Structure 1
Amino acid sequence: MQNTTPPARPAEARRADAARPLYRERLSPSLWMLGSAAVVAPMAALVFVQFDGALSLAIGFAVGILVVAGMILGSPVIEVRGTELRAGRAHIDVALLGEPVALTGDEARAARGTGLDSRGWHLIRGGVAGIVVLPDIDPDDPVSSWTISSRTPDRLAAAVRHAQTAR
């Protein structure tokens, strides 16, 4: 009779799984915002056109690239890794969060507007339609909930649930 028990996973493999994010999303600006920011390129070129035409075009192009790259790289990242939720610079253990609620459409619009919890922590981006609301169940935390914009709120909520059950 053969042994059908799978071999134990090495500790390195378990650490690698914990290091891999369950969910990751960058809340980058919309194409309209990036296009609007790129308008600084011709403005910068006009400032330097009095010195040299070719130099002013190069400076304008460089300024436009730097502004757009800065907007993208400076965008907040939402990540669920191990048992921790990170939203921008803030982070919390998922054990301190209640059941996540993924909202889209009119429900998300209301959650960002009149339904927004004034005692909550918010990471809301314009142009991102979905919202995930996570109750904060930590009795020592003055924050009552986390409200986070997400392009895929159902996936973010599922990742938080998975991290909560993986404890």
Structure 2
Amino acid sequence: MALGNDLQDRIARYIDDAIALEAAGVTSLKDMVSEATDPVDAALFQEHLAETELQKQHLEARLQALGGHHNSLKDAMNKIGAAATDLLHVGKDSGDKATRNLIQAYAIENLEVAMYESLYAAASEAGDTETAALAKQIQAQEEAAAKKIFPRISPVAKSAVIHGVQS
């Protein structure tokens, strides 16, 4: 369905926001993979990194199909925010970092679930079935990732307490 310019611009902005969040996710997940001390966590982060890169590509293609362009300033702002968050954790041991990374990954996944619900609702209301379907597809992937991450938080936190810097 052909969207009116105002609706198309709104949907394009929502997609652009999703691209920026996924780009930040790629950066965070790369860091999490390199910082992971447990091979289970490293594999979990690596798997979702590959999925996140594909999601970003699909979103970029959809934005281009709508005639929009990604605002890379949003990516830069997200990276600055991530760096500021990392400064709060300087000096933490590897157990603390492992726990923090899992908590952060879980929080990001749930933020993305909500973001894709918003994109789905807006696209559906605007009659943009392609964007709505993409939003639901990615949302399901984010929900699945969150379900894989959550059960890791407690054992990793317990391990950090029991073993100190070993996690």
Larger Rg: 1
Q: Identify, as 1 or 2, the structure richer in helix.
A: 2
Higher relative CO (Cα under 8 Å, sequence separation at least 6) belongs to: 2
- TM-score for the superposition, normalised by structure 1: 0.23
- TM-score for the superposition, normalised by structure 2: 0.23
Q: Identify, as 1 or 2, the structure richer in strand.
A: 1
